[in-house]
């Protein structure tokens, strides 16, 4: 991928050798003879008349892979890898269906105790690298004033958050994309198509890559994808405010365009970075070879210093083979200070990767331990913006002018209720209405015991009693 130098005016001054950086890091990720062009990575081969392909492994002479398509497997492809096809031993067999089966959302575990989003904090969606069936792919939700920003959301992020943690999608209307890698942010298009009115924050280079990639995968015109959301260009090298917090973006040390950031609120901060940004030994080596400029070396030193004084920070490793991942982790463990390592959590790596005692892996699921809450003072910004957002997401108030929305905010009275508090009784007259800013409300009502009433409104008896799971005269409970 080529970097759009016109996109960021200061890039020539700050990163004068960014293409040299990228070329150098790509050479480390592959053997010198490896061709990283499309033609070098892919070879199109057809099945023979018997429906079989034999592939040889140049690195392991005598090792062959047999791929066959057989009717007895329902159109699936059977892959057998072994040295001697006259023997049934020394083989590995894999069957790949010709039909892609998507995950069943019903397999997600429904939440028992929904979380109350913190004023400032982060929830880890997973820690895997996208190629490991034993772990969920990494991604994050940054909480600012009890509203969320998805960072590189994996597939089904919104559904998992709502089903497993009780987080309604309206609480998260912003997405940050930090890289053009396909496994990072694979749930972004789902978020855009399902919900709309989402703002995507990224550099122009990363955003263009996202649009064109998913246009090719989905068949949707790229212009349609662009119109599905609002795009806000990230200003790398200068501070910008998002939802009341201050963000400082920087370029990661990686073989493709990738950004990290520091986010600060009420004097507390978190840092998110990726690639080899914290590999101090690698940075020194590149600087000694004049691949990194003085300003780039100082920038990475600044990131390390910010982590040491942060509340919590995260490093996502990109795709290297396990041996290189082990070396990167070893370099980080040996060169970072004790304070930095205590604050750091590492994600986006295979579950088989081992960590030294001084480093910690990011949480791997949506349990209580996956959310880090950072104590900050409440702000007037939180009260005003949350009320405005609550109004915005109610269909009844769609199209309300800024003047009238501001009038509602001025007369609104924020109220908190303890768990189990009864708000309104059935058939009671009320002179107010409530907007749910956070939490859940149970709605209980008595099932009708009047057959005439059901006939009047065309309601079948089985629809109410059999499908609803209740008996006549009993209460039915739903959630909002």
pLDDT tens, residue order, the chain (480 aa) = 444 444 444 444 455 567 788 888 877 665 445 565 666 667 777 777 777 777 766 655 555 666 766 554 445 666 666 555 555 554 555 555 556 666 565 566 676 557 788 999 999 998 988 777 778 889 999 999 888 999 999 888 888 888 888 888 888 989 999 987 777 767 898 888 887 679 999 999 999 999 999 898 888 899 999 999 999 999 888 899 998 899 999 999 888 888 999 999 999 999 999 888 898 888 998 999 988 888 889 999 999 999 999 999 999 987 665 557 888 898 899 989 998 999 999 999 888 888 999 999 999 877 778 999 999 987 665 566 667 766 766 777 777 777 777 777 767 777 888 888 888 888 888 877 777 777 778 877 666 565 655 555 555 544 443 333 444 444 444 444
**What residues make up the domain containing 60?**
45-96
Nearest 5°: the CA angle 293, 295, 299 is 120
In a domain, 467, yes or no: no
In a domain, 406, yes or no: no
Same-domain status, 167 and 292: yes
Contacts of 307 (CB under 8 A, 6+ apart): 271, 278, 313, 336, 340, 343, 344
Same-domain status, 304 and 163: yes
Distance CA 146, CA 387 (A): 12
Same-domain status, 193 and 53: no
Residue 95 φ/ψ, nearest 5 degrees: -115, 125
Same-domain status, 166 and 78: no
Same-domain status, 250 and 308: yes
In a domain, 391, yes or no: no
Same-domain status, 267 and 347: yes
pLDDT of 360: 93
Q: Residue for token digits 């996109």?
A: 7
Q: How is 21-67 classified by DSSP, letter by letter?
A: HHHHHHHHSS-TT---SHHHH-------TTSEEEEE-TTSTT-EEEE
Tally the domains of the chain: 2
Distance CA 248, CA 242 (A): 10
In a domain, 349, yes or no: yes
Distance CA 478, CA 24 (A): 58
In a domain, 468, yes or no: no
Distances (CA, A) of 105 to 108, 420, 465: 6, 29, 26
Same-domain status, 260 and 300: yes
In a domain, 384, yes or no: no
Contacts of 298 (CB under 8 A, 6+ apart): none
Same-domain status, 134 and 267: yes
Distance CA 263, CA 376 (A): 13
Same-domain status, 252 and 291: yes
Distance CA 341, CA 336 (A): 6
Coil/strand/helix, residue 283? helix
pLDDT of 54: 73
Element housing 402 (H / E): helix 402-411
In a domain, 86, yes or no: yes
CB-based burial label for 462 (10 Å; 0-12, 13-18, 19+): exposed
Q: Which two tokens stand for residue 308?
A: 């040491």
CB-based burial label for 184 (10 Å; 0-12, 13-18, 19+): buried
């Amino acid at each position: 991928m080529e970097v759009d130098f016109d996109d960021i005016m200061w890039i020539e001054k700050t990163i004068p050798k960014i293409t040299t950086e990228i070329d150098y890091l790509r050479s480390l990720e592959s053997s010198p003879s490896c061709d990283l062009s499309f033609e070098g990575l892919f070879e199109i081969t057809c099945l023979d008349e018997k429906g079989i392909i034999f592939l040889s492994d140049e690195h392991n002479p005598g090792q062959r892979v047999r791929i066959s398509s057989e009717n007895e497997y329902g159109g699936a492809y059977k892959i057998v890898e072994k040295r001697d096809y006259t023997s049934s031993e020394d083989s590995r067999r894999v069957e790949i269906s010709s039909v892609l089966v998507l995950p069943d959302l019903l397999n997600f575990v429904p939440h028992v105790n929904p979380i109350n989003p913190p004023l400032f904090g982060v929830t880890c969606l997973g820690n895997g690298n996208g190629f490991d069936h034993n772990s969920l792919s990494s991604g994050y939700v940054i909480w600012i004033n009890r509203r969320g920003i998805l960072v590189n959301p994996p597939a089904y992020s919104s559904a998992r958050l709502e089903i497993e943690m009780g987080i309604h999608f309206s609480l998260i209307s912003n997405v940050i994309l930090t890289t053009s890698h396909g496994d990072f942010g694979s749930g972004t298009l789902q978020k855009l198509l399902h919900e709309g009115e989402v703002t995507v924050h990224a550099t122009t280079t990363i955003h263009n890559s996202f649009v064109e990639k998913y246009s090719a995968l989905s068949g949707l015109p790229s212009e349609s994808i662009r119109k599905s959301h609002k795009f806000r260009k990230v200003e790398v090298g200068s501070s910008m405010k998002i939802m009341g917090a201050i963000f400082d973006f920087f370029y990661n040390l990686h073989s493709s365009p990738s950004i990290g950031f520091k986010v600060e609120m009420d004097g507390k901060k978190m840092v998110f970075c990726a690639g080899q940004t914290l590999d101090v030994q690698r940075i020194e080596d590149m600087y000694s070879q004049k691949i990194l400029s003085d300003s780039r070396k100082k920038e990475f030193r600044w990131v390390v210093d910010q982590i040491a004084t942060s509340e919590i920070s995260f490093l996502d490793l990109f795709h290297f083979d396990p041996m290189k991942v082990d070396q990167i982790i070893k370099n980080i463990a040996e060169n970072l200070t004790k304070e930095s390592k205590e604050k750091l959590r590492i994600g986006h790596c295979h579950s088989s990767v081992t960590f030294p005692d001084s480093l910690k892996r990011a949480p791997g699921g949506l349990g209580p331990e996956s959310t880090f809450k950072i104590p900050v003072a409440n702000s007037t910004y939180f009260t005003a913006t949350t009320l405005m957002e609550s109004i915005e997401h109610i269909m009844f108030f769609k199209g309300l002018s800024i003047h009238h929305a501001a009038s509602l905010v001025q007369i609104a009275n924020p109220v908190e209720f303890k768990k189990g508090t009864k708000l309104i009784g059935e058939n009671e007259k009320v002179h107010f209405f409530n907007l749910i800013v956070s939490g859940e409300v149970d709605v209980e009502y008595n099932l009708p015991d009047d057959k005439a009433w059901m006939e009047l409104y065309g309601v079948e008896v089985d629809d109410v009693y059999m499908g609803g799971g209740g008996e006549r005269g009993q209460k039915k409970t739903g959630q909002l």
